[in-house]
Structure 1
């Protein structure tokens, strides 16, 4: 069963994370399904991509239980990060304007995945948190690219203190373009799609390329550095303790922080 649904009509591709019961965790299977859907949208040469999720959460982030069960967690995390980074790169480089729609929680890699879109629309109830360092991991998924949109010190605040941002706080920080009441979000998304579809596609493609290339000229290098860092952190004592503590629902006791 696919964990990602794809629908395309009238120049608009709708990609939906569909593991709603589990909160749409970014498992290896989901990332592979997501990659196929994004590549399909590129092949279909659509004008707009709408990336959304079914259920109570946009994405709770990586599947921490899978990290604990892996025989070789370093290799597993490397493979996961590289696959996710290919998806992020494809979203950045595709001609279509990408609109992400966030309801509920976007945590861990769910945050940079939502931010990989060109426009982020959020329900008033949406919440955003990186939470990587809480389990002894360093950020991936394009988290370091957030410095281009929200600034260095806001990004450090998110990465080091792991606050949970409300939708309005995320909008004020520059992460979210629009916030709407939950029951009005679907209509707002369709309004944005209609505006984009009525505009000059050629001009939109040019604008997207110019702005992205100026804001993040070394994006591929940054993503590779994220992969190398998170694979090392996942296999290190702090990462193993963070995963164990998360699954055991207890505060972590990180070896590197011991007196």
Structure 2
């Protein structure tokens, strides 16, 4: 198994395993991790030795999203974070292999967006899906405004986006947000079984199927990524976002004034 600081990389019998490895911060995505993840997904296109890609997190979490610990909204958290997130989402959708997300624990923010952009999402019973952006004065990004609505409809997307309410693994499965539900103990075996089946499947047919379904269901993804980038860029400059990030760092409830 190779390791590039924040990301474990393993190629096993046609399956490329990409495991986010920052368990001390619930696998929050650093710029390095985000860049490496996008690059490896992009490089998987056309690789004959890769038949399926698996996204996972180390230490009991999938990913808490972008790492904003200690970040000042006006000085250091800028549109580059949006571009990094969008690059990952585009790579997940564009790669000509099935992408399986193995989700145990928290999948929040852009971590949630990445999981839900995947083709197969296997949720352990401890998994929680959370678009927490509104809690700190931001809007959902990573294409979530399109992918969530495409999966479970406008009403649920509004609930997740506006109220920033977590969705349990059971709720996510029952609403059609994820494809599979497993106990935490069975999660590795269920993922392995799915991965082996996909790796042994007809690669050209699987790639064509993925393209066709995404073309039919994610017609708004690219416009959504651009809308989210524009909206988030504006929100990054607001006093509400600065207050939200200060409150996050201080462990308190923010006071938003619409400024």
Answer yes or no: same fold by TM over 0.5. Answer: yes
* Cα shift at 1:27: 1.9
1:88 alignment partner in structure 2: 89
Q: Structure 1: which 5+ runs fail to align? A: none
Q: Deviation string for 1:192-234 (max 9, x for gaps)?
A: 1122123222221111111101111232221111111112112
Residue 163 in 1 paired to residue 165 in 2?
A: yes
Q: Distance in 1 between matches of 2:33 and 2:176?
A: 28
**Unmatched tracts of structure 2, length 5 or more:** none
Give 1:69 deviation, angstroms. Answer: 6.9
CA deviations 1:99-156 (Å, max 9, x no partner) are 0000111111111110111000011111111110111101111111221111111100
- Which residue in the other structure is 2:56 paired with? 52
Match of 2:206 in 1: 204
Q: Say whether the 8 Å CA contact 1:4–1:37 is kept in structure 2.
A: no
Q: 2:38 aligns with which of 13, 35, 38?
A: 35
Q: Which residue matches 1:65?
A: 69
1:108 aligns with 2:109: yes
Partner secondary structure for residue 235 of structure 1: coil
Paired residue total: 254
User: TM-score normalized by structure 2?
Assistant: 0.93
TM score, norm. by length of structure 1: 0.93
C-alpha distance in 1, partners of 2:39/2:112?
A: 20
What RMSD over aligned residues (CA atoms) do the two structures have, in Å? Answer: 1.6
- Give the match for residue 150 of structure 2: 148
User: Greater shift after overlay, 217-226 or 181-190?
Assistant: 217-226
Q: Secondary structure at the match of 1:122?
A: strand
Asked whether the equivalents of residues 18 and 24 of structure 1 are also in contact (C-alpha less than 8 Å), the reply is yes
